[in-house]
Amino acid sequence: MKTILLVDDEFALTEILTSILEEEGYRVVTAANGKDGMVRLEKEQPALVLVDYMMPIMNGREFILEVRRIPQYQGLPLVMMSSVSPRIALADGEGGQLEVAGFLTKPFQLAALLGTIERLIGQP
């Protein structure tokens, strides 16, 4: 069973996505911010990470930059989710763009989420 790490501070969305993804056959672990996400990442070794842009303590941009500094996670698929435009959300702060495998604009369709996950890590 493939594990997905869902890093988002919106409790209702996290609950809904967890339920849907588990029904699809994935194992889901959650974190409410990027700092907690880093702890869960090390412990759970997920196949894919879904990360929100706007969160307290450590936002999605900071989380992605931190993950990409760790050699063992260079190939880990990271998918940013945000209502903020991709141009803003994916700016790395140095004139470039964050290295992500996908971007989902909130609110997104379930088919878009599942299609992105299947494209990146396949079926559960």
Confidence (pLDDT) at 87: 83
Confidence (pLDDT) at 5: 98
Confidence (pLDDT) at 110: 94
Cα–Cα distance for residue pair 42/34, rounded to 1 Å: 12
Confidence (pLDDT) at 121: 98
Confidence (pLDDT) at 95: 78
Cα–Cα distance for residue pair 15/1, rounded to 1 Å: 19
Question: Strands, DSSP E only, in the chain?
Answer: 3-7, 27-31, 48-52, 78-82, 102-105
Confidence (pLDDT) at 94: 80
Question: Strands, DSSP E only, in 8-88?
Answer: 27-31, 48-52, 78-82
Number of compact structural domains in the chain: 1
CATH of the domain at 17: 3.40.50.2300
Cα–Cα distance for residue pair 65/21, rounded to 1 Å: 26
Which residues sit opposite 5 in a β-bridge? 29, 49
For 28, the domain range is 3-121
Confidence (pLDDT) at 92: 76
Confidence (pLDDT) at 30: 98
Confidence (pLDDT) at 124: 85
Blockwise average pLDDT, block size 10, the chain, 124 residues: 97 96 98 98 97 95 95 96 87 84 94 97 91
